[in-house]
Amino acid sequence: MSPVMQQLEETAAFIRQKVDATSSIGIILGSGLGNLSQEIKVEYEIPYHEIPHFPVSTVEGHKGRLLFGELGGRKVWVMAGRFHYYEGYTAQQVAYPVRVMRLLGVETLLLSNAAGGVQPGFKVGDLMIINDHISLFTANPLVGRNVDELGTRFPDMSEPYSKELIEKVKAIAASHHIPLKQGVYLGVTGPTFETRAEYKLIRTVGGDAVGMSTVQETIAAVHCGMKVFAMSVITDLGIREEDNVITHEEVLQAAKEAEPKLTFLFKELIKSL
């Protein structure tokens, strides 16, 4: 067994000792979106700092707890707070909890994030289904020796986000008159917000939204055979020609205001699984 796999098994074994249940659904909540966890009938809660080999969230808006409970009538694992490359973690550490979830039985992973809108016509508060991503601007979590127990050396990424799950959410939104955007998420390292020139580059290469998370988690999930659905809350606009100053506080506030719609869609999607 590889050293990485041994660590993963130790982490999963610790969590199994604490949580006498399992689920095939996992959720990772983004900046300012942790209140979805309040909708969960929590049965077990483990602070990250107690979990062996687990990183610890250091960013405002990320609570740092692994939850297990009921949402939308189904049992779910929930990471209330994620890890980011810009915190000083490696790409492998950022993806570590995703791999742990797989060992705990997760087959479907739902991701949320706060993102900057680059597509003309986007406005703050929009919800964007991620139908593809560009990960070339940040480190790939699969660099290094492959963990053969999890997946192949060269995983196919032609459908990183499940078309089936995307269609389910689009149908749910349409039936409840919730407007949605759809587009490509471009991942960057952060922690700086982008310059005007960088926003132009991101739009030129095909990005509709930009953020500092998600792509590494998705790559790790696809590598180990999970289906992924991801949604961005557009919390700032990167195409303003005037007053292009963005603060983290503004991002958190915009996420908070849009969160009820995202929470509803996630709950309804979980019901349909």
Q: What is the DSSP string of 181-210?
A: EEEEEEEE--SSPPPHHHHHHHHHTT-SEE
Q: Which two tokens stand for residue 155?
A: 């995983």
* Contact predicate 216/187, CB 8 Å: yes
Q: Which residue has the tokens 């991002």?
A: 251
Q: Which residue has the tokens 């930009």?
A: 210
Domain ranges (residues) in the chain:
3-272
Backbone CA torsion sign across 157, 183, 161, 258: positive
**Residues in the chain with pLDDT < 50?**
62
Tell me: the pLDDT tens digits for 178-229? Answer: 999 999 999 999 999 898 899 999 999 999 999 999 999 999 999 999 999 9
Q: Which two tokens stand for residue 167?
A: 């269609």
Instruction: Report whether CATH 3.40.50.1580 matches the domain 3-272.
Output: yes
Backbone CA torsion sign across 173, 178, 179, 181: negative
**pTM strictly above 0.75:** yes
Q: Which pLDDT belongs to residue 19?
A: 96
Q: Which pLDDT belongs to residue 1?
A: 80
Q: Which residue has the tokens 């809660």?
A: 45
Report the C-alpha gap between 240 and 254 in whole angstroms: 17
Q: Which pLDDT belongs to residue 63?
A: 66
Residues whose CB is less than 8 angstroms from the CB of residue 272 and which lie 6 or more positions away in sequence, other chains included:
168, 172
Q: Which pLDDT belongs to residue 30?
A: 80
